[in-house]
Amino acid sequence: MNQAIVQVKNVKKTYQSGDTLVTALDSTTETFNKGELTLIMGPSGSGKTTLLSLVGCVIYPTSGDVYLKNLQVNNLSENELANIRLNTIGFVFQQFNLIEPLTALENVMQPLILQGVSNKEAKERALIALEKVNLLERKNNLPKKLSGGQKQRVAIARALVTNPEIILCDEPTASLDAKSGATIMEELKQLSRQDKAVIIVTHDLRLRKFADRIVYVEEGKVSNTISNEEDYK
Ligand SMILES: Nc1ncnc2c1ncn2[C@@H]1O[C@H](COP(=O)(O)OP(=O)(O)OP(=O)(O)O)[C@@H](O)[C@H]1O
């Protein structure tokens, strides 16, 4: 049975935008499980990235609670949250966010160096992560010498090199052609099968067939959650 790893309970997030208070997310309760690939879908501006940011301990809720492995995290300090992010969560973004002057290998080593792992061990583990995404032969390339799909695979290797239990992705396939996007999704699906929670914000309807569960967000609220048995397969 899949085990709950992140729970948001009755969370609300508002932003002050000039004179207006924007409610990005309201009255939202949702559980995310290990061993599952979950998509967060919904119209533009509906609150998807806000939900992902709360799950990723990147922002604090205005009200409500966030639990990560049964630890209430919304009362923790910025530093404590930074530690949780470094040790428990891997992030993958649409724009890859690779460091341009560093090679693929050095990019993947970065989270480990931040964790205080020795250079030698960081290199060994980064090579294993690059191998997992079939990119070992490109290890010495700078990002500008990689295709979009290859850059995203480096970003995935960087996200998984610390062996995080949660992998969060914001539009990971949006900059990619259909074939590279499908490869990335296969790799993310495989990671979910290694007992990780993989949570992906996307507009791309084609990704539904990879999902175990789809959480639909509309106007700042979860409108529907579908367990993806046979619906889209
Ligand atoms: N830092 C911010 N300051 C002010 N308003 C914000 C901020 N971040 C998000 N919002 C607003 O909150 C609402 C939800 O934004 P969010 O980015 O979560 O939506 P989304 O569903 O991810 O949108 P998209 O699909 O277009 O990326 C929007 O109205 C947005 O303008």
Does any domain span residue 98? yes
Our measurement of the distance from residue 34's CA atom to the centroid of its chain's CA atoms, rounded to an integer in Å, reads: 13
CA of 54 to the centre of ligand 1 (A): 13
Share of the chain above pLDDT 70, in %: 97
Which residue range is the domain that position 191 belongs to? Answer: 4-227
What are the residue ranges in the chain where pLDDT is below 70? 1, 229-233
CATH number for 40:
3.40.50.300
Number of domains observed in the structure of the chain? 1
Show the ligand 1 pocket: residues with CB < 6 angstroms: 15, 17, 22, 24, 42, 44-50
Identify the pLDDT of residue 176. 82
Residue 57 belongs to some domain of the structure: yes
**Cα four-point dihedral sign 214, 211, 136, 178:** negative
CB crowding 117-150: b at 16 or more within 10 Å, else e: beeeebbebbbebbebbebeebbebbbeebebbb
Which pLDDT belongs to residue 177? 85
Report CA(129)–ligand 1 centroid distance (Å): 33
Cα of 78 to ligand 1 centre, how many Å? 21
So what's the pLDDT on residue 226? 86
Q: Is residue 67 part of a domain?
A: yes
Of all protein residues, whose CA lies closest to atom 31 belonging to ligand 1? 45
Closest protein CA for atom 9 of ligand 1:
24
Per-residue model confidence (pLDDT) at position 228: 74
Whole-number Å distance, alpha carbon 88 to ligand 1 midpoint, is 25
